[in-house]
Amino acid sequence: MKRIVILISGRGSNMEAIVRARAAEQWPAEIAAVISNRPDAAGLAFAQSHGIATAVVDHKAFGPGQPGREAFDAELQRVIDGFAPDLVVLAGFMRILTPGFTVHYAERMLNIHPSLLPAFTGLHTHKRAIEMGCKFSGATVHFVTAELDHGAIVAQAVVPVQPGDDEASLSARVLKLEHRMYPSAVRWFVEGQLAIENGVVRQLAGEAQSFS
């Protein structure tokens, strides 16, 4: 039985999708905890209502700059490891993590990013895609490394950019696919169906790693 810890900063809609999918599909895993860097994160109440342990490591309690980031990450790592996870899942966790933290969870921490990586790392991805005239946008599930929004790609969801799209409308369509894709990627991990070979992730059961 694999143990999963999910990190959120707000509502955590992808966290909700993972919790529901795990229960419906009876994965060989449990959600050991949901942890937030914000005490007012709405997703904490959802987790508690589903009997999941929660914790808060408030980033505002740590100083600014690199010393503060490292102290925050050290405390976050301590709290996470208290739940003995096999997998850490970032679900709208809005903090840039230090290299030491990412190395500690190498090849056992997943993130979802709202673009077709390696395009449009960082913020405002859908707005930038529209402004650049992209015909497609989407989202990517990847293993987390020290380099922001990089790491071996597990799955991607592709959405056409429609005439008249704005950031909100495109984001909403992509989010629907995220809620299908991210639970699938997490399930693959806990079922031992992912292999990384030369930086490329293969789904060992032959399930499609693209969603549309």
The catalytic site residues sit at: 113
What is the number of other CB atoms lying within 10 angstroms of the CB of residue 101? 22
Q: Is the separation of the CB atoms in 117 and 173 below 8 Å? A: no
Q: What are phi and psi of 201, to 5 degrees?
A: -95, 130
Peptide bond into 118 cis (omega under 30): yes
Q: Cα separation of 168 and 179, whole Å?
A: 17
Q: Cα separation of 174 and 161, whole Å?
A: 10
Q: Compute the Cα dihedral for 68, 74, 78, 80 and give only its sign.
A: positive
Angle CA 106–18–50, to nearest 5 = 115
Task: Kindly state the helix (H) or strand (E) to which residue 36 belongs, with its residue range.
Answer: strand 29-36
Q: Cα separation of 80 and 102, whole Å?
A: 13
